[in-house]
């Protein structure tokens, strides 16, 4: 009987600790494809992806319909949140966040093939100076 109580107590402690670890390591990340501006919400626990929810918008729908299949290039698009909704710090301050999906879609529609290729090469770069140039290309076509 004493062994059964000890095992039950150990099991209860394990459940409580597992729940605490689950809540402390659960995170919601926000990402976007820099090519088409498709948004994604990614749920993880201890770094393991549980779910990816995709949120299409005007740019991602137009891009797929007009330019065809492509490989998404995912980048962080906001600060991650833990299970309690607390924001984690993010070092991602990409200039691409200065553009809306609608602005990018408008620019992609009006770019020449050469401009579109230049823009897409700049947005996939991890260099922030390239991303600033991509934003400037859009601003020439879609002024604020």
Q: Using an 8 Å Cβ cutoff, are 36 and 72 in contact?
A: yes
Q: Which residue has the tokens 């579109």?
A: 116
Which residues in the chain come in under a pLDDT of 50?
13, 16-17, 20, 22
Tokens linked to 80: 């991650």
**The pLDDT value given to residue 73:** 94
**The pLDDT value given to residue 62:** 96
Between the alpha carbon of residue 89 and those of residues 38, 80, 81, the distances in Å are 23, 7, 9
**The pLDDT value given to residue 16:** 47
**The pLDDT value given to residue 101:** 93
**The pLDDT value given to residue 143:** 81
**The pLDDT value given to residue 26:** 85
Residues near 99 by Cβ (< 8 Å), separated by ≥ 6? 135, 138
**The pLDDT value given to residue 17:** 46
Burial class (CB in 10 A: 0-12, 13-18, 19+), 134: buried
Residues near 25 by Cβ (< 8 Å), separated by ≥ 6? 45, 46, 47
């Amino acid at each position: 009987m004493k062994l059964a109580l000890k095992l039950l107590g150990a099991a209860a402690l394990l459940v409580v600790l597992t729940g605490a670890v689950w809540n402390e390591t659960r995170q919601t990340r926000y990402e976007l494809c820099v090519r088409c501006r498709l948004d994604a919400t990614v749920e993880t626990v201890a770094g393991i992806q549980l779910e990816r929810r995709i949120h299409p918008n005007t740019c991602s729908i137009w891009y797929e319909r007009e330019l065809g299949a492509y490989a998404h290039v995912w980048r962080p698009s906001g600060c991650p949140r833990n299970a309690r909704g607390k924001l984690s710090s993010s070092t991602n301050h990409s200039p691409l966040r200065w553009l809306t999906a609608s602005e990018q879609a408008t620019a992609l529609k009006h770019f020449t093939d050469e401009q579109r290729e230049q823009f897409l090469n700049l947005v996939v770069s991890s260099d922030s100076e390239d991303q600033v140039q991509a934003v400037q290309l859009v601003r020439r076509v879609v002024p604020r």
